[in-house]
Structure 1
Amino acid sequence: QLDVAFSLIAGGLPDGVEGIKVSEEEVVVAFAPGTAPATSRVAAGDLAGIPLAAPRSGSAIKVVADEFFAAAGESFNISLESGDPYLIRCLVSDGFSAAILPASLTRREGPPVDTRPLSPPVRLPVYLIWRRGRHRSPAAGAFVDFVRERAASP
């Protein structure tokens, strides 16, 4: 069991969970190198019919991807769902499909991918989270206090 964790959150913190918002994450579409559209951003209609890999159902990325396509009246052609976003990046790099991913995952060292932000832009808050009322170790408590102080600073 984890004392605290960083998590993307869609639609507010779940019941029984407390957290501190620490940043925001842009959601992007990752493409195999050389296959991204020439446009600087991609709309849901641009992705219609393109097979897309995505994090598993219920994840924050999948929730906002579903909302993004629904708001545009477009369908989401899912080629694969996985709980391992790095695996998704590897498959995209090899040409399996494009994918909806957090931008930070595509900037880390790893297999090459080309990215395009969504249009309209989609961003998710990043929280440090923990279970309400659960005992935290002294180290976890000190970390939460540190993050809380940093989050309160301009």
Structure 2
Amino acid sequence: MPHESLTAQLAPHLLLLATLRETRNVTRAAELLAVPQPTISRRLAALGEALGSPLTVPDGRGIRLTRAAELLAEAAERALGPVDAGARLAREEIEPGSGRVVLGFLHLLGRSLVPTLLRDYRAQAPAARFTLVQGSRQEMLDRLSSGELDLALLAPVPEDPALDTAVLDEQPILLSVPAGHRLAGHEGVGMAELADEEFVMLEPGYGLRRITDDLCAAAGFSPRIAFEGQESDTVRGLVAAGLGVALLPHFEPGAPAGVSEVPLLPPVGRTIGLAWRKGEPVSPAVRAFRDHVRARECSGRWEPS
């Protein structure tokens, strides 16, 4: 049989092949696909006849795919990703108000910024659905580039020709020190004055870590790292315990107990922005939420965490 004819017969059954590859059980596959088991068996027999070789062989209480079927199933799994994406676009073109947005963001931005954005957006689009993904800046960039995320709130805003971005605000970076530290209450401090301090840092891959490393290098020293963490709130807690100093965004509404914030001289800030893949079509739901975020910034109502 010409491969074009085989492709035409296989196309409606891509999900069946992918499901069997995962479950290795006809009964379980029938349950997942909501199709009677005899129907699954007939389809497998017909596909095997079209291919000229059986697709499955018994394996204990289940089955396993033949080598030829494994090759087809691998191709089916690769093909299903774009098909699922296309189905989502088509569905949301008809019902944009109930679409889903996969939004990535930094841990720090999840404290108040992201909840505020979602609350305000849901007020005008109550059926909108979100999948929220948190992580380091590098992790969010990787997942955005791979297509796992629709949008990402990042700081600093990436300079990547493969991404489109919208700068939303500039967020001041301050020195956080224990309340009893020699610099607590000072009106400002230069980075060179911190050469002998022990630092509490975020792990590599976080935007604040890169900013801290770059500022220390520009001041002519490598930071002495006492502790590394994955969340800014943990870093602040370590500072409050007297375990080091840290460069962190201004804490709203004011520095927490045990921490004093000191401005850097000259002032230092980082951009907060929204990023998405350049040139790719997006669903109406993603486009509507993206426009909502950008409109907030334009109206001067942005309130960074």
**TM-score where L is the length of structure 2:** 0.44
Gaps of 5+ in 1: none
Deviations 1:55-106 (A, max 9, x none): 2223222222222122221332222222211111111112221111122xx2
Q: Which residue, 107, 111, 120 being the options, matches 2:252? A: 107
Contact 1:64–1:122 at 8 Å: present in 2 too? no
SS in 1 for 2:266: coil
Work out whether 1:51 is the aligned partner of 2:198.
yes
1:145 is aligned to 291
* Bigger Rg, which one: 2
Aligned positions of 1:80-119 closer than 5 A: 80-103=227-250, 106-107=251-252, 111-112=256-257, 113-119=259-265
**TM-score where L is the length of structure 1:** 0.81
Q: Which moved more, 1:133-142 or 1:30-39?
A: 133-142
Distance 2:273 2:190 in 1: 27
Contact 2:166–2:273 at 8 Å: present in 1 too? yes
Runs of 4+ in 1 over 4 A off after TM superposition: 108-111, 133-137
CA drift at 1:124: 0.9
Aligned positions of 1:34-73 closer than 5 A: 34-35=180-181, 37=183, 38-73=185-220
2:150 is aligned to 3
CA drift at 1:30: 0.8
Change (3 A) 1:119 1:109: closer
Q: Which residue, 270, 275, 279 being the options, matches 1:129? A: 275
RMSD of the TM alignment (CA)?
A: 2.5
Change (3 A) 1:138 1:86: farther
The count of aligned residue pairs is: 151
CA drift at 1:16: 2.7
Distance 2:299 2:253 in 1: 27
Change (3 A) 1:22 1:56: same
- Percent identity among equivalent residues? 30
Q: Which residue, 165, 173, 185 being the options, matches 1:19? A: 165
Relative to total residues, which structure has the larger strand share, 1 or 2? Answer: 1
